[in-house]
Amino acid sequence: MPTPLNKTGDPDITYIVAASEQIARYLHPEMVVILESTTYPGTTTEVVLPILGTGNWGSGTGEQNSQSPVPSLQSPIPGIDFFLAFSPERVDPGRTDWTTRNTPKVIGGVTSACLQAASAYYGQAMETLIPVSSPEAAELTKLFENTFRSVNIGLANELQLMCDKLGLDAWEVIDAAATKPFGFMKFTPGPGLGGHCIPIDPEYLSWKMRTLRYKTRFIELASEINTDMPRYWVQKVQDALNEAGKAVKGSRVLVLGVAYKKNVSDMRESPSLDIIHLLEEKGALVDYHDPHVPSFAADGMRKSCVDDLESALGSADCVVVATDHSAYDWAGIGSQAKLIVDTRHVII
C-alpha cells in the first residue's frame, strides 16, 4: 500500500514507524525485514533502519536473547545481525497475465548481505528478481513507474482537451499514433485518475524534491490536468443537457461505474465520486450503477446501486459512462439512453 498524505500534503509515515517499532521489539538474529509500501526515497534507511537499530534481542520483553550471535551486542547491525531491504509491490488489479509470480521484483538492500537475504526470500516464489544498488534506488523506481503513468495519462487527457477545442476526435488521433511500431506507447484519456497509487505516489516524489529545493514541474502539471478532468466531463454533461433544452438542476443523471477502473470493485480515489459530487452541487439528481459495487459510503455520500439498469437508463436525462466494465452491453446502453457522455470511448 502507498504512504498516505496528511492534510499538509506531506507523506504520513506514522504506520511505517509504528510497524518498525513493533518489529524492533521482537527483533531476532537473522530476521529479514522488507518494506514494500510505496514511499519516498530514503524511508527505509532514514526511518526504518534507525528504529530497528535500537531493537531488543528478545521476545518483546527487552531481555537479551541468548540466541544472539553477539550476546553483548548493544545495537544490532544490518547485514550481520538482521537484514533490511525495500522491494515495492507491483500489482495491477484485475489482470491475469501478469501475476505476483511472473512480475519482475525489484529489490534494494541496505547492504549486499541484506540484498542477498531478501533475494533468497523472494526467489522462493517469484520468477525474476531485479537487484538494484540501494533501497533508495528501489523506492525511486516505484515512484518513477507510477509517475510515468500519471504524466502520460495527463498528456492524453490534455490531448482530449485540445481536440475538443479543435473539433477533432482524440481517440482517433491516439489510435492512429499507436500504429507507429516504435517510439510510442499508447495512453488514453478518461474521467481522471483513480486507485491507491497513480493519483498519490507522484506527490511523494514532489514532496521529497521540495525538501531539496527542486520543483517537479512535469509531475505537478500532470496532476493539475488529471485532477481537473471530472470538472471537464461535468461541463460536457451540462452542454449535452443544454442542447436538449434542459438544465442540469433537476435533471436525472445516471453514472455508470464508480470503481476507479474496469472489472474491479476498488473505489479508492475514483474520479466517479468527483463527477457525482459536482453534478449534485449543480442540482442534478444522480443515481449510479456498478455491477461490482452494490453500495458505498464515501466522501460524505451514501448511495446504493440502482436495482433495474434498464429502467434507470430509460428514466435518465443523461447517462455518464465513467467506468468501462466488461459486464455492460454498450450497444444496448447506447440504444436506450437519451443522452450519453462517454468518458471511456466505449459507445461507438
Residues designated catalytic: 197
H or E segment to which residue 155 belongs: helix 135-166
Nearest one of 24, 22, 66, 67 to 49, comparing CA atoms: 24
* Radius of gyration of the chain measured on its C-alpha atoms: 24
Q: Are 295 and 267 in contact (CB under 8 A)?
A: no
Joined grid coordinates for residue 300 = 460524505
10 Å CB burial of residue 248 (0-12, 13-18, 19+) is buried
Give the torsion sign (CA, 332, 337, 343, 348).
positive
Cα distance between residue 180 and residue 192, in whole Å: 26
Mode of pairing for the β-strands spanning 295-298 and 129-132: unpaired
Q: Which residue bears the cell 531539496?
A: 212
Cα distance between residue 52 and residue 71, in whole Å: 17
Joined grid coordinates for residue 23 = 518489529
Cα distance between residue 310 and residue 298, in whole Å: 26
Identity of residue 118: A
Cα distance between residue 268 and residue 83, in whole Å: 33
